[in-house]
Structure 1
Amino acid sequence: MNKLGSRQPVTRGKMCEHAHVRPADLRKKKPDESAQEMSRIVMDSGTGKCYCRGKVLGKGGFAKCYEFTDLATGKMFAAKIIPHSRVSKPHQREKIDREIELHRGLHHKHVVHFYHHFEDKDNIYILLEYCSRRSLAHILKARKVLTEPEVRYYLRQIVSGLKYLHEQEILHRDLKLGNFFINEAVELKIGDFGLAAKLEPIESRRRTICGTPNYLSPEVLNKQGHGCESDVWALGCVMYTMLLGRPPFETTNLKETYRCIRDAYYTMPSSLSPPAKNLIGSMLSKSPEDRPPLDSILRHDFFSQGLTPERLPSSCCHTAPDLHHTSPAKNFFRKAAAALFGGKKDKAKYFEALNKLTKEEEEIHRLRHEMRKTSISSQNEDIKALAPPTVKPAGVPVKDGTNKQQIRDTIRMIVRGTLGSCSSSSECLEDGTMGSVADTVARVLRGCLENMLEADSIAKESLYSSFQWVTKWVDYSNKYGFGYQLSDHTVGVLFNNGTHMSLLADRKTVHYYAELGQCTVFATGEPPEQFVGQVTILKYFAHYMEENLMDGGDLPNISDACKPRLYLLQWLKSDRALMMLFNDGTFQVNFYHDHTKIILCSQASEYLLTYINEDRVSTTISLSTLLVSGCSGDLRSRMEYAFNMLLQRCN
């Protein structure tokens, strides 16, 4: 989550990364307005949009940063809120205006995106990209130190974003771990441009001392002005801090810290690798002209002689990732390469393994060919009629005795989610616990993703979509809970205390779930005394969604006679999508940027997948059809993202 570093004046004592030095005209303390009550719902009078203010993400000298949710779309932002009383003087307001003007023009993958700004009578609001995994400072606090592959991964992204800023003739002037934000996909974004400035000619450069003391360069301390080299110096401090868990010039005394910086005096522990020592040493050169340009940093031996992961798992935010794990195929070829340079015995083993691999690949291709030839309609009929026999999981080569029936049975087991511990998917779903439902859905998605063929588009299949799905939703979990409306107009709220309440489409009946599967039914107008408050909130959610939100697609409504009672078990929001999991295994993921949706549901021993595209047009297809016909890479990537969200919520 985005966090604004503290902007308080520096005091003596042990130096902290978040302390700042600011120009003298900005150092005067202002009264603390934090006690003032701020409205939870904020409206932008210019656009008419309403936002719900959530929890505090960070605090600064002039501003606080909050979670902000667009009530119409559910999109989340990090909102920097600056009270007018904090910028009452002209030079203070000019500084905020400069920050807005500078940041709004920046567009880069590794720079926090600026969305919008507006103001009311009390505050200025700056809406920024929401980064759900907070910052590198938070990761380092949990991890203490990072591994070299992780440092290479993050440094590559920092250099990419910083190079873009310098090409725009912008100096950040406050690079530190707390200003590197991490999004849901563990991608780094440079943020907080409160001290950023335009690059000036040498003779006109700013000579004020501002930034974070542990990261200040000698030329800034000596008031020789800021240049691109000052950002490179800070980058050297960042690299040192990630590898060792502390800044290079940290001492218990500010005066001593400044002396060490001016002399470029710091220690290089033996735990650092020689390439890491060399790169840090070059970036922390006392003379600015001796520091490497950004392009040459990425060509350094530190990067060329070590592993740089393409992606990092979310677990790296709190534990060291296992980056040395290799797939069976990679292990095979690694051993094969070693065998080619070994003795006769090694070579014999290599060719034996090669022949075995070739036969297995042929079997896989033959199996896929048989699957393509099998009639989709006959598969659907067989799937309904057959009980699951004992077969090997799909994707595992089987002997020549394999027939079409076994292939169809294998597909059936995948789409029913029965390749795990449960004897049937319905058995797991009837259990009704969050874990069992989530496990079943995850098993189905995993089986589909691991066995689905590639295709250019999704197959056309006419299926009756007799299931419920979420057409509207609103996140008010900062106060009450998460609300949604189903396609049959039932409104549900999963309250913050874990209970659930549904207002049926007739608006006369309420279903209350204190525990999973245990339902209490009562009339809307006569709720038991202990439920009066929750019923009032439920009605509020229903009224708000009816009056303010649009439906989410073109799927037909299900009749009240044939629908089961659906209620929400779990939900999760990322910076890209919203995930919702229901008691009957219905699993829905809404993607914010293009309003596409994926809905997975179980019907008559079969799983159906519905995809609602950008034009709000839906396609419903059985997973057995999807397995043999495949789908586009675009839909597959959405399915993979949905699967990862589900795993994250389960863990």
Structure 2
Amino acid sequence: MELLRNISQQPTNSNRMYEPNQPGSCELRRKRTEDHGHAPAEMSKIITDPATGKCYCRGKVLGKGGFAKCYEMTDLSTSKVYAAKIIPHTRVSKPHQREKIDREIELHRVLHHKHIVHFYHHFEDKDNIYILLEYCSRRSLAHILKARKVLTEPEVRYYLRQIVSGLKYLHEQEILHRDLKLGNFFVSESMELKVGDFGLAAKLEPAGNRRKTICGTPNYLSPEVLNKQGHGCESDVWALGCVMYTMLLGRPPFETTNLKETYRCIREARYALPSSLSPQAKQLISSLLAKTPEDRPHLDHILRHDFFSQGFVPERLPASCCHSAPEFHVSSPAKSFFKKAAAALFGGKRDKVKYYETLSDVRPCYLTPPSFSSPQDGRPPSPSAGRPVAPATEGLPPTTRDTIRLIVRGSLGSCSSSSECLEDSTTGSVAETITSVLRGCLENMPKADDIPNGTECSNLQWVTKWVDYSNKYGFGYQLSDHIVGVLFNNGTHMSLLADKKTVHYYAELGQCSVFSTSDVPEHFVGQVTVLKYFAHYMEENLMDGGDLVSQPDTHMPRLYLLQWLKSDRALMMLFNDGTFQVNFYHDHTKIILCTQREEYMLTYINEERVSSTFRLSSLLTSGCPADLRQRMEYSLNMLLQRCN
């Protein structure tokens, strides 16, 4: 009963919601009577500010709360429209009630941010207190969700980015919102989101002196608030997880038929994640709704999550999104041009390159072993004449040494460079070469507890950023030397060099056309425009995935993508020169296999984005820890599954 009493007695609590039937409101409503039981006097249509003499015309009701109503209100001298929160004095007659209104005004009036509802002015007369706020003509996310039932993932990314931006600003001002929910996210005429309603907001207190009052909307309360452990920034992050879940599924995560059961689910962090959600959405929701506050991500880290980096985020939304699901196109001022470009590019019969959106549970399974003999069978192969043995194999028995050499170097044949070897090759032969090398290493590598000493890797090229937009155009990526490439859905490839002036076009493996961005052949205009869009998007929105850098190449790009493959755990990319990269979603680790100076090198980028490079011959002699071996095994199996 104490818990119910604390929630219901907040003067600007969830009872003051502006939204109709918001999912997750689960409001604790009580019937209120007017002072002395009398009905309020009819409010005047024209309201005058006693201090300034300004007159306002009161319009339609925008929303209702427990202690206030929100009206559309127009300044008669300027015609500017506001959202006016009007609180009758009779509703805040007790000192503690008035203190809460004053605190809301003092906190809100100093806030200035594009994703925070702007506070303009406040005044009072003998009947009411008036707070003039920014007018958001599209109302709130609660209204939008009521009309839409659920939102698409790109829309959720769009709204969450703006919520996080506003919330980060609040936390930097040491202000907790404490009532984040769909009804408190207002949408402007231009579809910009604004965080509003600071009736429960409070200054952040030191950990030992935090507010322990249970307040907010029941379905969005965090476990620590329910357990009276106090409010911190982590409680707002928890509410953000509830908001994300509600937008994607149309109902809050802890909604049940009774409040007691809802609170039990919250305390246990027990909720369902339907299979309809993408793996990235599930991962982000799980981290936001971590039971322990310290396990939830900081706001700075949320937008770096794979849910944002691996999915399309629209730059703007049309107003039609308020009532119907959008059709997303590449964001550009020339939308009609993109439609024409896409039609010219992919119209008629589409000869799509093979790519895979998901790969079910990939388990370690090895095919026929490589054609060389194993060290244990006593029949070592004959070493190729004239080939020096890698330094890491000096001092080993001849049998082991020869096997290592064949694994890490022999598969390149007699070519002077890998590109020469692949000139007349196919994607399949490149993959087979990498498969043989990786499988041979795993089958002969001993177990070890520590990572061996690394080596320097000169100017390694690898993918630092990527975007999957294959539902419309193709797969884009940025290399460490700042070259941007796109493998289009029709199987062709374009690279934009680091100088942003030169384009290399590959109709098929080994056949390249070069032209300037200032003189694009007419039939390539559509693809070059899409290529530039990918480059701009990754530059503006994505961060690099590691600490390895390369020198820009303004002449001939060495690398271009042949094939890519996504599973529920990782992204695999295979390049023309045999470079092979796998990015793991859950911890952002990466492995890169490439050749340098006729020797295979393996680079591992850990969770902290710090890289280590090893000769494959070193791993064969000294082994590697289980976590790196598991990633290598998973990568091999992605290769084996790529054509299934």
Alignment TM-score, normalising by the size of structure 1: 0.50
Equivalent position to 2:295, from 281, 290, 294: 290
Q: In the TM superposition, what is the alpha-carbon distance from 1:315 to its structure 2 partner?
A: 0.6
Aligned to 2:340, which of 300, 323, 328? 328
1:410-429 equivalences under 5 Å are none
User: 8 Å contact 1:77–1:130 — kept in the other structure?
Assistant: yes
Seen in structure 2, the aligned counterparts of structure 1 residues 220 and 359 have a Cα distance that, compared at 3 Å, is closer
Residue 47 of structure 1: how far off its partner (Å): 1.1
1:182 aligns with 2:348: no
Report the Cα offset of residue 339 of structure 1.
Answer: 2.6
| Residue 230 of structure 2 is aligned to residue 225 of structure 1 | yes
What secondary structure does 2:261 align onto?
A: helix
Q: Quick one: distance in 2 between partners of 1:163 and 1:29?
A: 39
Per-residue deviation, 1:203: 1.2
- Structure 1: distance between partners of 2:142 and 2:168: 22
Whichever of the two has the greater Rg, that structure is 2
Residues 1:234 and 2:239 aligned together = yes
C-alpha distance in 1 between matches for 2:43 and 2:205: 40
Counterparts of 1:93 and 1:41, CA distance in 2: 25
Q: Which one-letter code corresponds to 1:273 in the other structure? A: S
Name the counterpart of 2:457. Answer: none
| Deviation (angstroms), 1:16 | 5.6
In 2, are the aligned partners of 1:285 and 1:291 still within 8 Å (CA)?
yes
Say if 2:14 and 2:217, in contact at 8 Å, map to a contact too. Answer: no
Cα distance change on mapping 1:7 and 1:177 into 2, 3 Å: closer
Is the 1:5–1:179 contact (alpha carbons within 8 Å) kept by the matching residues of 2? Answer: no
Please, which of 272, 281, 284 is the counterpart of residue 279 of structure 1? Answer: 284
Is 2:25–2:219's contact at 8 Å kept on the other side of the alignment? no
- Alpha carbons of 1:5 and 1:185: their partners in 2 closer, same or farther (altered >3 Å)? farther
Q: Partner residue of 1:69? A: 74
Contact kept in structure 1, 2:12 and 2:200, CA below 8 Å? no
1:17: how far off?
2.9
Q: After superposition, what is the alpha-carbon deviation per residue over 1:385-433, rounded to whole angstroms, capped at 9, x for unaligned?
A: xxxxxxxxxxxxxxxxxxxxxxxxxxxxxxxxxxxxxxxxxxxxxxxxx
Q: How do residues 361-372 of structure 1 correspond to structure 2 at under 5 angstroms?
A: none
8 Å CA contact 1:21, 1:209 repeated in 2: no
Picking from 157, 161, 166, the partner of 1:161 is 166
What does residue 112 of structure 2 align with? 107
The answer (yes or no) to whether the contact 2:23–2:252 under 8 Å persists in 1 is no
Q: Contact 1:9–1:19 at 8 Å: present in 2 too? A: no
- The 5 A counterparts of 1:131-210 are 131-210=136-215
Q: Which residue of 1 aligns with 2:359?
A: none
Tell me which amino acid in the other structure corresponds to 2:107. L
Distance 1:6 1:78, change over 3 A: same
Does residue 40 (structure 1) correspond to residue 49 (structure 2)? The answer is no
2:25 counterpart letter in structure 1? H
The question of 1:339 aligning with 2:495 is answered no
- The answer for unaligned runs of 5 or more in structure 2 is 1-10, 331-337, 346-472, 475-486, 494-505, 527-644
Is 1:17 matched up with 2:34? no
Label 1:344 to 1:313 Cα distance change in 2 as closer, same or farther (>3 A): same
- Aligned mate of 1:78, from 73, 76, 83: 83
Name the SS for the 1:81 alignment partner: strand
Give the Å deviation of 1:48. 1.3
- Residue 96 of structure 2 aligns with which residue? 91
In structure 2, what is the Cα distance between the partners aligned to 1:222 and 1:320? 39
Q: Does the C-alpha gap of structure 1 residues 5 and 322 become closer, same or farther in structure 2, counting only changes over 3 Å?
A: farther
- SS of residue matched to 1:250: coil
Which of 497, 510, 522 lines up with 1:356 in the alignment?
A: 522
Distance 2:203 2:66 in 1: 22
Matched-pair contact (CA < 8 Å) for 1:6–1:18: no
Q: Distance in 2 between matches of 1:258 and 1:191?
A: 26
C-alpha distance 320-255 of structure 1, shift in aligned 2 (>3 A): same
One-letter identity of the residue aligned with 1:60: G
Kept in 2, the 8 Å contact 1:5–1:178? The answer is no
Counterparts of 1:63 and 1:44 in 2: how far apart (Å)?
Answer: 18
Separation in structure 2 between the aligned mates of residue 15 and residue 328 of structure 1, nearest angstrom: 41
Q: CA deviation at 1:262?
A: 0.3
1:211 corresponds to 2:216:
yes
| Distance in 2, Cα, partners of 1:66 & 1:114 | 15
Check conservation: 1:9, 1:27, Cα contact below 8 A: no
Partner SS state of residue 156, structure 2: helix
| Structure 1 residue 356 displacement after superposition | 3.4
Q: 1:248 aligns with which of 246, 253, 270?
A: 253
Residue 307 of structure 1, CA deviation: 0.6
- Give the whole-Å Cα distance in 2 for the aligned partners of 1:92 and 1:27: 17
Structure 1 pair 16–178 and aligned structure 2 pair: CA distance change class (3 A): same
Structure 1's 104 and 253: CA in aligned 2 closer, same or farther, altered over 3 A?
same
2:186 alignment partner AA = F
Q: Contact (CA 8 Å) 1:207, 1:224: kept in 2 or not?
A: yes
Identify if the C-alpha distance between structure 1 residues 345 and 5 changes in structure 2 by more than 3 Å, giving closer, same or farther.
Answer: farther
- Give the Cα separation in 1 of the matches to 2:175 and 2:167: 9
Distance 1:19 1:96, change over 3 A: farther
Residue 15 to residue 149, structure 1, CA distance change in 2 (3 Å): closer
* Secondary structure of the corresponding residue to residue 92 of structure 1: helix
Is the CA contact (8 Å cut-off) linking 2:181 and 2:243 kept in structure 1?
yes
Check the 8 A contact 1:40/1:52 in 2, yes or no. yes
Task: Give me the whole-angstrom Cα distance separating, in 2, the residues matched to 1:255 and 1:339.
Answer: 59
Question: Alpha carbons of 1:67 and 1:9: their partners in 2 closer, same or farther (altered >3 Å)?
Answer: closer
Q: Do the aligned residues in 2 keep the contact of 1:339 with 1:346 (CA within 8 Å)? A: no
> Is contact 2:34–2:40 with CA below 8 Å preserved after alignment?
no
CA RMSD of aligned residues (A): 3.2
Would you say how many aligned residue pairs link Structure 1 and Structure 2?
350
Alpha-carbon distance between aligned partners in 1 of 2:225 and 2:91, rounded to the nearest angstrom: 27
Separation in 2, partners of 1:108, 1:131? 15
In 2, are the aligned partners of 1:42 and 1:50 still within 8 Å (CA)? Answer: yes
User: SS of the residue aligned with 2:112?
Assistant: coil
Query: What amino acid does structure 2 have at the position aligned with 1:328?
Result: K
Change (3 A) 1:328 1:224: same
> Amino acid of the residue matched to residue 49 of structure 1?
K
When residues 151 and 72 of structure 1 are mapped into structure 2, their CA distance, relative to the original with a 3 A threshold, is same
| 1: CA distance, partners of 2:23 / 2:492 | 54
How many angstroms does 1:355 deviate by? 3.5
CA contact (8 A) 1:15 1:250 kept: no
Quick one: distance in 1 between partners of 2:213 and 2:120?
30
1:18 partner amino acid: S
Q: Distance in 1 between matches of 2:128 and 2:188?
A: 27
Deviation of 1:7 (Å): 4.1
Distance in 2 of aligned mates of 1:342 and 1:235: 46
Provide the residue aligned with 1:372 in structure 2. Answer: none
